[in-house]
A and B are shown apart, each in its own frame.
Chain A
Amino acid sequence: MAEHSNPSTPERGSNKVILDVNNISLSFGGVKALTDISFNVREHEIRAIIGPNGAGKSSMLNCINGVYTPQQGSITFRGQTFSHMSPRQVAEMGVARTFQNLALFKGMNVIDNIMSGRNLKMKSNLFLQALRIGPAAREEAEHREFVEHIIDFLEIQAFRKTPVGRLPYGLQKRVDLGRALAMEPSVLLLDEPMAGMNVEEKQDMCRFVLEVNEEFATTIVLIEHDMSVVMDISDRVVVLDYGKKIGDGTPDEVRQNPEVISAYLGTSH
């Protein structure tokens, strides 16, 4: 597997910028979470955001997909610039994400959780759904089939009808990813996809992330704590510390960067 999925194969990270974050600043009632952050993401690359706890990594993602509205700065997506977008708009533009501390829909089983990721694509109106005739029924079946492909891809066939609450943590993470994939995103934001996993689970998740990136040509922005993983699979890395950007470049460049070393690599791990 490994030698065939070498992260830095030439066609990866074609230099076309798909997502551009310009001078984002965000604060909660005086507390500054992000200060003047800028970086860009190229089409089809794996872009990592790293930094110590409380560095503002998650806040950054929340700004990108519209959960938080930054006080200053703008985000350019496929050439369009926005200073504020609703999560809905972001989703419609093809940005999906997973969450650091599982945000699955506890009351639903695996299928329904992933199905919910298809809602943007399901059009039939209330009445048709209530009667479950014609388009409504067809729609349910079609999207179920798509979801089944994801279930197959993530190798969770044995659990498709299990309530997500009953799944072990590692599998819940997969479902979370599955829900995001169900949106057929062009950009996928992953918030610590491997946090709290054991070695095999991490390997699996790595495999999935790389396969998503290759098979579906999905651009991936990922927050991760496990340095080995980051340096392994990401093309370029942004380093945040106390809401400020202190490094940006290829894993090797970042490794050399003294500021980064003192702020992060040196201290933690």
Chain B
Amino acid sequence: MLYRENGQFKTSYAADQQIFPIAQDRIGILLLVAFAIVGVPLLADEYLFRAILIPFLILSLAAIGLNILVGYCGQISLGTGAFMAVGAYAAYNFFVRVDGMPVIVAILLGGVCSTLAGVVFGIPSLRIKGLYLAVATLAAQFFFDWAFLRINWFTNNSSSGTVSVADLSLFGIKIDGPLGKYYFCLGFVLVFALLAKNLVRGHIGREWMAMRDMDVAASVIGIRPVYAKLSAFAVSSFIVGVAGALWGFVHLGSWEPAAFNIDRSFQLLFMVIIGGLGSIMGSFFGAAFISVLPIFLSLVLPALGNLFGVTIGTALIAHTELMVFGGLIVFFLIVEPHGLARLWSIGKEKMRLWPFPH
């Protein structure tokens, strides 16, 4: 309905291959980014930043990372939390042990360590497929849970096992207020989203998808499974690691291994599946859905209770949340197994064909 594509012809391949070939889409995305940079700070209050926006951004980043592995390369991983943890703890150690270490560098180095871990635990994927691999990745989850709990070196021998970072700053500017943190995360997310998109639409992305869709055919056209899969693990866990570092440094400030336990892994997997496998945009949708839903429920359920004059105990709320959450997940998988991204693209097609049927 909103699309006017006449005259939008392409006279070069570069123009034809850009991320948003349609002008209306480019405008839309620019407006969105502009809103995120200018609009949101004007509207959001502290709670919104701390409880929703910042977690959403960081989890989107992690989801993008996971989506590269699961959605694009077709390698199931249940160990994402662990790689976030590696990122967080590695960054922490660089940060506290090397004095004068800039935050960004520390975070990126965290990502690098996570990459290494990812590659090591990705090696089995060369022989193992599907559910077997999924369970194998749990090994990483439990191993790192344990390691960061029991091996004090990682926690800089902090007595409580809890680690914390303070006074983050970027080029001398302090990142303490929620707004600063928001921008910090937003920056990371935008940059990495772009880089990730470039990768998946480049030839490495095609190699990943080829492995995912038909690995024999892929090898016959000369794609090396080793390289394709491990590079996916590497890129994926790098991004995930960075997200982990952000989660620790920016969102939590002080944390313990439980922050990255298996539930986190599942949560992220939900995000990519409900958001849409093999879609960068889907990662954002999924993150929004999964991270906002519980908050939404925790707000709505008591209200509902009061409506019927019942005061709902916190325990009951917690349980109802679990139920509704689980129920919605199932419902979603049944109605749209391909996730929100699919719904989005269908909607877009409808708009382009309007008023004709899809």
Do A and B interact directly, with beta carbons closer than 8 Å? yes
Residues of A close to B196: CB separation below 8 A: 130
B199 is contacted by which of A91, A117, A119, A129 (Cβ under 8 Å)?
A129
User: Interface 1/0s, chain B 181-218, versus A by CB < 8 A?
Assistant: 00000000000000110110011101101101110111
Q: Is A35 an interface residue (CB 8 A)?
A: no
Q: A103-B216, A104-B214 are in contact. Are A96 and B221 (CB under 8 A)?
A: yes
- Flag if A99 contacts B206 (CB, 8 Å): no
Q: A107-B278, A140-B13 are in contact. Are A122 and B203 (CB under 8 A)?
A: yes
- Flag if B12 contacts A141 (CB, 8 Å): yes
User: Interface 1/0s, chain A 129-155, versus B by CB < 8 A?
Assistant: 111100011011101110000000000
Interface residues on A, range: 35 or more
Least Cβ distance of B163 to chain A in Å?
Answer: 31
User: What CA separation (Å) do A116 and B201 show in the bound complex?
Assistant: 11
User: Interface 1/0s, chain B 210-249, versus A by CB < 8 A?
Assistant: 1011101111111110000001000100000000000000
- Flag if A116 contacts B202 (CB, 8 Å): no
User: Interface 1/0s, chain B 312-350, versus A by CB < 8 A?
Assistant: 000000000000000000000000000000000000000
Q: Is B17 an interface residue (CB 8 A)?
A: yes
Dominant SS among interface residues on chain A: helix
Least Cβ distance of A35 to chain B in Å?
Answer: 24
Q: A103-B217, A119-B207 are in contact. Are A136 and B223 (CB under 8 A)?
A: no
Q: Is B42 an interface residue (CB 8 A)?
A: no
User: Interface 1/0s, chain A 192-236, versus B by CB < 8 A?
Assistant: 000000000000000000000000000000000000000000000
Residues of A close to B204: CB separation below 8 A: 126, 129
Q: Is B14 an interface residue (CB 8 A)?
A: yes
User: Interface 1/0s, chain B 144-155, versus A by CB < 8 A?
Assistant: 000000000000
Least Cβ distance of B160 to chain A in Å?
Answer: 39
- Flag if A116 contacts B198 (CB, 8 Å): no
CB contacts under 8 Å to A, within B1-49, are: 12-14, 16-17
User: What CA separation (Å) do A140 and B12 show in the bound complex?
Assistant: 12
Q: A108-B206, A129-B203 are in contact. Are A141 and B17 (CB under 8 A)?
A: yes
Q: Is A179 an interface residue (CB 8 A)?
A: yes
Q: A67-B216, A183-B222 are in contact. Are A129 and B207 (CB under 8 A)?
A: no
By beta carbon, the residue of chain A nearest B192 is A130
- Flag if A107 contacts B213 (CB, 8 Å): yes
Residues of A close to B210: CB separation below 8 A: 105, 108, 116, 119
- Flag if A126 contacts B235 (CB, 8 Å): yes
User: What CA separation (Å) do A88 and B222 show in the bound complex?
Assistant: 4
Residues of B close to A97: CB separation below 8 A: 220
By beta carbon, the residue of chain B nearest A180 is B221
Least Cβ distance of A49 to chain B in Å?
Answer: 17
Residues of A close to B212: CB separation below 8 A: 107
- Flag if B13 contacts A136 (CB, 8 Å): no
Q: A130-B195, A130-B198, A144-B13 are in contact. Are A87 and B213 (CB under 8 A)?
A: no
Q: Can you show 29 pairs from A to B with CB atoms below 8 A apart? A: A86-B219, A87-B219, A88-B223, A96-B221, A97-B220, A103-B216, A104-B214, A105-B209, A105-B210, A107-B213, A108-B210, A112-B206, A116-B203, A116-B206, A116-B221, A117-B221, A119-B206, A119-B222, A119-B223, A120-B221, A126-B199, A126-B204, A126-B231, A129-B199, A130-B199, A137-B14, A140-B203, A141-B12, A141-B14
Residues of A within 8 A of B (CB): 65-67, 86-88, 90-92, 96-97, 99, 103-108, 112, 115-120, 122, 124, 126, 129-132, 136-137, 139-141, 143-145, 179-180, 183
